[in-house]
Structure 1
């Protein structure tokens, strides 16, 4: 699939991941609301007003002080609710997605704790720099830029070509 090559993984834990393409971010998750556990759903949003950081802050604050009702976020295509609940005494959050803003079609992620959210949002691997400061990204972490270009360029130049350098051409 060509589509996936342009997505860069920011972070992933278990069945939930955050991916970036240009300035669009996608959260991909295994839908626990379906009988078929192989159903994966996703919702996307632009990182316009530091929305990725904003979402992370909303979740982080919800862990500290759980809101009385779900936090509702309206995206261009979906409605997302952040559902907080204590799971064995640990604060957790669950993404609830109303697909195409239709209350009949609901996707639900697993319950995620703070450590998992940090992993998904790239806080534990330093990749959160990808959305924190788009303008200075090259200065902050030049290696990530290199890695991204390398991974898209690598398949174009197959390695066997370089191995033939020392051999004499066959006739």
Structure 2
């Protein structure tokens, strides 16, 4: 009887640990950033996520984000779109549609400095956000270009 009880106890202990599965994960790689977490890029596999402090509401300093997969070199193309916007004459806003978000690149000039802001709207939740003012040097730093 003791052997049967011990065997049953061992079987139950093995089954209880059978509920835990180890899942494969892709490493997160933090790329460029501007300021102390004002804007930064994170890469997970082929997905790039841009995080930024929301300056739309001064009382709400939440972190907003938008992301896309690097299909057909989209990360590099996004960089080129932003840089080309700085060189456009006259400067105009560029609207992009991503899988889960709409992103406006809002260009403006303050004195001699030109800059861009990310303005986003989530397609599902309709939540919005606006990043801080980023200069061309900030964009190059964000995308780790010299």
TM bin (shorter chain) = 0.7 to 0.9
Which digits, 9 at most, give the CA deviation of each residue in 1:48-98, with x for residues without a partner?
Answer: 011111111011111111565321111111100101111222111110001
More strand by share: 2
SS in 2 for 1:42: strand
Q: CA RMSD in A?
A: 1.9
SS in 1 for 2:105: strand
Structure 2: 5+ residue runs without aligned partners? 1-25
More helix by share: 1
Query: TM-score, length-normalised on structure 1?
Result: 0.64
Structure 1: 5+ residue runs without aligned partners? 125-171
Take 2:120 and 2:59, find their aligned partners in 1: how far apart are those partners? 17
Runs of 4+ in 1 over 6 A off after TM superposition: none
Take 2:142 and 2:47, find their aligned partners in 1: how far apart are those partners? 16
Query: TM-score, length-normalised on structure 2?
Result: 0.74
Contact 1:92 1:113 in 2 (8 A): yes
SS in 2 for 1:51: helix
